[in-house]
Amino acid sequence: MVDDLHLATEGGNQFHNRVFALQNEYGAENVPLAIRPSPVDLLNPEADLPALGALCREIETTHGKLAMIVVDTLSRAIAGGNENGPEDMTAFIRNVDALRDFTGAHVLVVHHTGKDTAQGARGHSSLRAAVSTEIEIENDDGIRTATATKQRDLEPKSPIIFQLKVHEVGHDEDGDAVTTCTITLADQATIDDMNMKRPHGKNQKLVKEAFQQLRGEGIGKPNPGGAGFPESGHYWCIEEQKLREFCYGKIAAKNKTSSYNTAIDGLLGTGYMVQNEGMIWIAAKEGKCG
């Protein structure tokens, strides 16, 4: 039985690496998944839509009814069309609807956000208006969160927090490792760390980046032990004065002291950073040594 048809329009045969990794990770055989690893045109209804319909009918005849069709990605499925244009986007939606109506399967479309992630998915607003469920995946230092940002007629489920597990599947002609990934659900300690309030605003992010840059240059040392410090050697500490002076060179505002103090007070207030005896460190996981 085949439940899922994946239209892998990007990466070509590299999709097989993912299947190989999935099989190694879970040891599964006869997985109900069909893959079409090639570009597809869902902009022009006379291009690939008839062939896709025939493929779906062949799969159903041989293996049973399809439950889901994945279009991965929208950009590669509109054959050079304009994502921002209402004519092209509505044409894509119309053809996806036709594929759904023909098969009775759910159609999942993989799409990308724009440069401003707060604005959501790229392209014309008719796309979001047409979808029943929108799930946005965000990456925060390797911790990924899948959140339902739109759910028609149902209560959204809780976000799913996960990480990528890297698999080496072979080597290329230069001897370099060829890798791909599977996902693994985050453990509770990782979730608790992620839920720690992260830097927000330009200056808080600047302070964090300045700290990381200094650390990358070998400025600072693992934390000492004693009152007010974590267990010795667990977190990277930098003299607060050195961090302050370095940030002053990066802050664009005229009143650098006020901008820095406001940012650092916010970071200390949320617990993201901790200061003791003139030393400062990041209390989240990325601040740990090693």
Same domain membership, residue 80 and residue 212: no
The whole-number average pLDDT for the span 73-96 is 93
Q: State residue 12's pLDDT score.
A: 67
The whole-number average pLDDT for the span 142-153 is 90
What is the tally of structural domains in the chain? 2
Same domain membership, residue 182 and residue 209: no
pLDDT at 198 over 80: no
Q: Could you tell me which of 6, 4, 85, 99 has the C-alpha nearest to residue 45?
A: 99
The enclosing domain of 233 has a CATH number of 1.10.10.10
Strand partners, 235: 288
Least confident of 100-109, 172-181, 209-218: 172-181
Q: Which structural domain range is residue 99 located in? A: 4-193
Q: State residue 242's pLDDT score.
A: 97
Q: What is the pLDDT of residues 103-140, one digit of tens each?
A: 999 999 999 987 766 667 888 999 999 999 999 998 87
Same domain membership, residue 203 and residue 86: no
Q: Could you tell me which of 218, 226, 244, 237 has the C-alpha nearest to residue 275?
A: 237
Q: State residue 183's pLDDT score.
A: 94
Same domain membership, residue 160 and residue 202: no
